[in-house]
Structure 1
Amino acid sequence: MTHPHVTALHRYPVKSLAGHPVEQLTIDRSGPQGDRTWMLVLPDGQGLTAREQPELMLIRPELTATGLTIRAADRSDLVVTIPTGPTDIPVKVHSTELLASSAGNGADAWFSEVLGTPLRLVYLGDPDIRPVRPDHAEPDDRVSLADGFPLLLTSTESLDALNDLVAAGRFPDEWPLSMTRFRPNVVVSGMPAAWAEDGWRRIRIGDAIFRTPKGCDRCVMTTVDPDTAARGREPLASLVKHRRWDGKSWFGMNLIPDTPGTQIRLGDQIEILESVPDPDGPPR
């Protein structure tokens, strides 16, 4: 019998830019080390995402020992060092306000030219300052610059089931969808059935323990092809029809770490510590 196990791990150094696969992740209280600790902001401090500018997904950041190397088509590479200056830039992640550090005028000019709008690149030097939304978390839970939770987990069985729905739906020309559309940190395979993760409440991955406070309600960003930045109708068209509760469409499970300082690796088995059978409704 096949047991659920980790088949892919991903890190996203800059919010909404391309991610990259890794063989292991070190888990801090706010999520994987190096995950979404940088962000592009508009002049008013609001974070810019691929919801508004899909071309962000075509820019490829790579973590280095001193910061980032960032690549875009037909541009010279941008090398950014971790800021040592003050943490005094007011920024917003959706409605959450916090302070970040400037990556410098050179980085701002590079991104502004590439994307055709005035932008600043900022860095969250202390990833433990932003609390997770209190209705699904404990008071000490923290998150980096990710939308709402420290990590996201998806399963290949659920993606296969979703792709079957896409193939039989209104937009079969958009089949098949890749997992990269959903920007997970952890991808698991060997599930007993599609959507089995909906019922998880606590799990162990290798030596790391996580709570699964709620599923992930999906937005228009999933309709962007991460390889071309072209926008389509799927997967939302199929999720709205088949995975719709509380006025939202669901795919994947959010995770909150309970054992910071541990690592998760490719091949780690998933142990289900708490679950509910056959949940009828949104994955919570």
Structure 2
Amino acid sequence: MNKLLLSEINIYPIKSLGGISLQSATLEESGLQYDRRWMLIDEEGIFITQRKHFELALLQVSIANGKLSISHKKLPEQNISFSLDEDTGEQISVVIWSDTATALEVNKTVSHWFSNFLKFKVRLVKMPMAEKRMVDPRYASNNEVVSFADGYPCLIIGQSSLDGLNEKLDEPILMNRFRPNFVFTGGKPHIEDSFKDFQIGQVLFSAVKPCARCVLITIDQQTGEKGQEPLRTLAGYRTVGKKIIFGQNLLHKKAGLINVGDELKVITWKA
């Protein structure tokens, strides 16, 4: 088998907004540094995503000089930024799926900017460093923790999995529909389904659960428009137990530095 090489590292600092592609990244306890450390919530404290609000795809995030900036992909004059360390200090109880966590509002001005964009009242919150949101105990092996990601610290997809899907589609799509943290080249389509334990750089990972897919992958990340693909095509060949599967959720053993170009070495394969 040809070598498996890491070809992309992506982080999504604000849950459900545009991602940032990196050449090198630090893996921390709850996932990649800055990945899903911020999130939008409604007045009840419930998380907000592209699943209902497709227009969030139009907001691009960047990090530079200690600041996080948000800009509209089509209207760049619509933008705002704030310090990575900024928060009001007020603790807020927030809900992500069936989890409850503690968060801090960034500031009222940023929340107002997002409220104007979405046309209803929201707040932008960050996860405090001391907060411990636990991974589902059915899949955790060592009391692992996670940021505001849906459930797991990291997600991996093989480039050949997307290439195989695009061969079946009338219009090819980009990998950003699936919002992976890691993309690798080499191997047959969906070889990641067979990973059990593997290493990237100096970091050990375990693939613990296939990633079930929803309506979010039908949203074009460049236009914010929703279609029927690729969910419809994937339903024809990637359905397992009534769920459409694409990519693998990961847990990791320790912190470390990961670089594009690192070899992915499989230690043990699933039976």
For the aligned pair, the TM-score class normalised by the smaller chain equals over 0.9
Instruction: Pick the aligned partner of 1:268 from 241, 252, 262.
Output: 262
Instruction: Pick the aligned partner of 1:78 from 71, 74, 80.
Output: 80
Is 1:223 matched with 2:225? no
TM-score (norm 2): 0.95
**2:61 aligned counterpart, secondary structure:** strand
Deviations 1:226-246 (A, max 9, x none): 000111111111111101111
How much is the aligned-residue C-alpha RMSD, in angstroms? 1.4
Show structure 2 runs of 5+ residues with no match.
none
What is the identity, as a one-letter code, of the residue corresponding to 1:157?
S
- Residue 243 of structure 1 is matched in structure 2 by 238
Alpha carbons of structure 1 residues 140 and 130: separation in structure 2 relative to 1, 3 Å: same
CA shift at 1:83, angstroms? Answer: 2.7
Does the Cα contact within 8 Å between 1:51 and 1:221 map onto a contact in 2? yes
Instruction: Pick the aligned partner of 1:255 from 250, 254, 263.
Output: 250
CA shift at 1:2, angstroms? Answer: 2.9
What is the identity, as a one-letter code, of the residue corresponding to 2:183?
V
Does the Cα contact within 8 Å between 1:24 and 1:265 map onto a contact in 2? yes
Q: Distance in 2 between matches of 1:213 and 1:162?
A: 23
Q: After the TM superposition, which of the residue ranges 36-45 and 109-118 deviates more from structure 2?
A: 109-118
Q: After the TM superposition, which of the residue ranges 126-135 and 45-54 deviates more from structure 2?
A: 126-135
- How many residues were matched structurally? 268
- Residue 206 of structure 1 is matched in structure 2 by 201
Deviations 1:132-184 (A, max 9, x none): 01111124201000001001111111111111222xxxxx2xx2011010001
What is the identity, as a one-letter code, of the residue corresponding to 2:144?
D
User: Percent same amino acid among aligned pairs?
Assistant: 32
After TM superposition, the runs of 4+ consecutive aligned structure 1 residues lying more than 6 A away are: none
Residue pairs, 1:56-135, within 5 angstroms = 56-72=56-72, 73-81=75-83, 82-126=85-129, 129-135=132-138
CA shift at 1:217, angstroms? Answer: 0.6
Is 1:187 matched with 2:190? no
- Residue 9 of structure 1 is matched in structure 2 by 9
Instruction: Pick the aligned partner of 1:161 from 151, 159, 164.
Output: 164
TM-score (norm 1): 0.91
Does the Cα contact within 8 Å between 1:210 and 1:257 map onto a contact in 2? yes
CA shift at 1:56, angstroms? Answer: 0.6
Q: Distance in 2 between matches of 1:34 and 1:27?
A: 10
**1:180 aligned counterpart, secondary structure:** helix
What is the identity, as a one-letter code, of the residue corresponding to 1:38?
W
Q: Distance in 2 between matches of 1:90 and 1:48?
A: 14
Alpha carbons of structure 1 residues 84 and 121: separation in structure 2 relative to 1, 3 Å: closer
Does the Cα contact within 8 Å between 1:41 and 1:91 map onto a contact in 2? yes
**1:204 aligned counterpart, secondary structure:** strand
Q: Distance in 1 between matches of 2:220 and 2:158?
A: 19
CA shift at 1:65, angstroms? Answer: 4.2
Instruction: Pick the aligned partner of 2:140 from 122, 137, 140.
Output: 137
What is the identity, as a one-letter code, of the residue corresponding to 1:140?
N
Show structure 1 runs of 5+ residues with no match.
167-171, 278-284
What is the identity, as a one-letter code, of the residue corresponding to 1:64?
A
